[in-house]
Copies of this chain bind each other. A is one copy, B any other.
């Protein structure tokens, strides 16, 4: 019998808040490092989407698999990646999670079930199907959760992956973070449906729409969907409605977005919503929240400072890990 999804207790919610603040602070710091010319290449930050990463991570066990995209810092941190190792990777240092060989778009930590960032839009979805299929073949209860954007739902790999997961009834959860934009294009310019979730119909797959800025809502939906997948109920498509508060990548100011749209979504900032929920619970005070904010700020600042000091990778890394 599927246990009912429960709301997070105040202590757990405070921990989720801490995780969200950690992601926010991390991302803001990456932007600053970029502006200090310490980050080469591109970064794709997720400010505003923290509740998705954290709500899902809270519903998973360490055995579960996640996969995600170039906009993946939040997912990595939410499941426990060390901020220092993440910073170091983004700075291209030898202490990075991928020893500097991957970069911002590829934060990976297999020990934490963080199976990879896929920087080609859609390419992670079939891999996630394979991860879930593998768990199924081994009669394990692990699930495979894969995160992607609204824009990614227009690419062929999306379609093939959902169909394949459906025919295998594999424990794969497709989480579309609908942040309204694919790069600089609003979703209504690239697809004619309002909700990506309707696309599940094409595979007779269950689907669900969730307020992606409300970590409680994400967490509760995630529990139900994960439980279904764990118990042989097969795949689900979950659409988390959210918003990318910043531009698409490092240098994009996002000027193409209507100001009212930005304003209204900033008012629904996931941190604001969670803070309100915490205070409403009655068992968390403003001081508790401020303490979390402060400790995160210190930890992230220290992590960034340590990463900035980390050595460059050895030249031998260039040809290491190509083959066995």
Closest to A204 in B: B192
B residues near A156, Cβ cutoff 8 Å: 155-160
Q: In A5-27, which residues have CB < 8 Å from any B CB?
A: none
Closest to A168 in B: B192
State whether A163 touches B154 (Cβ < 8 A): yes
Which of A47-55, A195-203, A209-217, A249-257 participates in binding chain B? Answer: A195-203
State whether B167 touches A160 (Cβ < 8 A): no
Closest to A159 in B: B159
What DSSP secondary structure best describes chain A's contact surface? helix
State whether A198 touches B189 (Cβ < 8 A): no
Closest to A156 in B: B156
Is A193's beta carbon under 8 Å from chain B? yes
Nearest Cβ on chain B to A69's Cβ, whole angstroms: 18
State whether A167 touches B155 (Cβ < 8 A): no
State whether B203 touches A192 (Cβ < 8 A): yes
Is A61's beta carbon under 8 Å from chain B? no
Q: In A172-206, which residues have CB < 8 Å from any B CB?
A: 189-193, 198-199, 201-205
**In the complex the two chains form, what is the Cα distance from A166 to B157 in whole Å?**
19
Given A155-B160, A156-B159, A163-B154, A193 and B204 contact (CB-CB distance below 8 Å): yes
Closest to A234 in B: B192
**In the complex the two chains form, what is the Cα distance from A190 to B204 in whole Å?**
13
**In the complex the two chains form, what is the Cα distance from A163 to B158 in whole Å?**
12
**In the complex the two chains form, what is the Cα distance from A203 to B191 in whole Å?**
7
Q: In A205-229, which residues have CB < 8 Å from any B CB?
A: 205
**In the complex the two chains form, what is the Cα distance from A32 to B198 in whole Å?**
48
State whether A160 touches B154 (Cβ < 8 A): yes
Q: Which of B190, B192, B198, B203 contacts A193 (CB 8 A)?
A: B203
Closest to A191 in B: B163
Per-residue CB contact flags for chain A residues 141-157 toward chain B (1 = under 8 Å, else 0) read 00000000000001111
Nearest Cβ on chain B to A162's Cβ, whole angstroms: 9
Nearest Cβ on chain B to A127's Cβ, whole angstroms: 15
Q: Which of B155, B198, B199, B205 contacts A192 (CB 8 A)?
A: B205
B residues near A163, Cβ cutoff 8 Å: 154, 190-192
**In the complex the two chains form, what is the Cα distance from A166 to B201 in whole Å?**
17
**In the complex the two chains form, what is the Cα distance from A198 to B163 in whole Å?**
13
Closest to A164 in B: B154
B residues near A199, Cβ cutoff 8 Å: 201-202
Nearest Cβ on chain B to A174's Cβ, whole angstroms: 13
Closest to A198 in B: B201
**In the complex the two chains form, what is the Cα distance from A201 to B194 in whole Å?**
11
- What are the 6 A-B residue pairs with the smallest beta carbon separation, nearest first? A156-B156, A159-B159, A199-B202, A192-B204, A166-B192, A202-B202
Besides A154-B159, A163-B190, A198-B202, 5 other A-B contacts (C-beta < 8 A): A156-B158, A156-B159, A193-B204, A198-B201, A199-B202
A residues neighboring B (CB under 8 Å): 154-160, 163, 166-167, 189-193, 198-199, 201-205
